[in-house]
């Protein structure tokens, strides 16, 4: 249900802002867990979407809004500690990350067909986790302050712009309702898709 709602939001926002003075990047996202995220789920996510809305304030600089989603899921037998118990049997582990960021990007080059960029953003992450073991089901649902850094490129393919980047996400510590410990989350996201714009920025 949450996935369908997010997809509807992204589609609706894209249609509304396409006619405005913005560049819209819509990408499919593959994510690799790192740090404490990897301790909970060590499996690459192939379920993800990202929406980048970019307002150019000069030829080389944009101010941006980022909305994303990555879903991680794994069946594991590794030891995990929860309050009053250590569990090592077969478990189902799920995590959804929803970043919402304000960012800025700097663009290199002066050509029409190829513009590499670097950027940084700050904002919030909504992290939802689910842990299942036998008849036991535990959940954690928390907001985290965090940041992202990324590098990528926008390049012209025939009559449309391709849009790709690598983004590192980091959500600062907050108490986890499953482990009852302060936990931070991080992962790399590899994004590829299209850049839509009614104007020529490059």
Residue 44 belongs to a domain: yes
pLDDT for 28: 98
Helix (H) or strand (E) holding 127: strand 114-133
pLDDT tens readout for residues 102-155: 999 999 987 767 889 999 999 999 999 998 888 788 899 999 999 999 999 998
Does residue 7 have a pLDDT over 60?
no
How many structural domains compose the chain?
1
Q: Residue 92 sits in a domain of what CATH number?
A: 2.40.160.20
Residue 24 belongs to a domain: yes
User: Band of the pLDDT at 160, cuts 50, 70, 90?
Assistant: confident
Q: Is 68:189 a contact under the CB 8 Å cutoff? A: yes
Residue 202 belongs to a domain: no
Q: What is the mean pLDDT of residues 6-20?
A: 52
DSSP class of residue 135? T
Q: What is the mean pLDDT of residues 59-65?
A: 91
Question: What is the C-alpha separation between 154 and 126, in angstroms, rounded?
Answer: 28
Q: What is the mean pLDDT of residues 26-48?
A: 95
Residue 85 belongs to a domain: yes
pLDDT for 148: 98
pLDDT for 170: 98
Does residue 5 have a pLDDT over 70?
no
Question: What is the C-alpha separation between 1 and 124, in angstroms, rounded?
Answer: 21
Residue found under tokens 């894209």: 14
Domain extent, residue 162, equals 2-196
pLDDT for 37: 94
Does residue 101 have a pLDDT over 90?
yes
Q: Is 119:149 a contact under the CB 8 Å cutoff? A: yes
Residue 15 belongs to a domain: yes
10 Å CB burial of residue 141 (0-12, 13-18, 19+) is: exposed
Residue 48 belongs to a domain: yes
User: Band of the pLDDT at 30, cuts 50, 70, 90?
Assistant: very high
């Amino acid at each position: 249900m949450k996935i369908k709602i997010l997809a509807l939001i992204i589609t609706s926002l894209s249609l509304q802002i396409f006619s405005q003075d913005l560049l819209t990047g819509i990408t499919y996202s593959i994510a690799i867990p790192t740090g404490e995220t990897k301790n909970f789920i060590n499996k690459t996510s192939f379920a993800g979407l990202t929406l980048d809305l970019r307002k150019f304030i000069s030829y080389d600089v944009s101010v941006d809004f980022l909305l994303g989603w990555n879903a991680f899921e794994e069946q594991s037998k590794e030891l995990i500690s929860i309050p009053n118990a250590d569990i090592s049997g077969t478990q189902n582990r799920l995590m959804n990350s929803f970043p919402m960021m304000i960012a800025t990007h700097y663009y290199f080059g002066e050509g029409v067909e190829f513009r590499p960029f670097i950027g940084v953003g700050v904002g919030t992450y909504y992290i939802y986790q689910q842990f299942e073991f036998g008849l036991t089901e535990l959940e954690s649902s928390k907001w985290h302050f965090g940041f992202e850094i990324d590098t990528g490129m926008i390049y012209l393919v025939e009559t449309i712009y391709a849009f790709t980047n690598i983004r590192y996400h980091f959500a600062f510590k907050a108490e986890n309702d499953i482990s009852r410990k302060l936990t931070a989350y991080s992962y790399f996201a590899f994004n590829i898709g299209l850049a839509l714009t009614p104007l020529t920025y490059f």
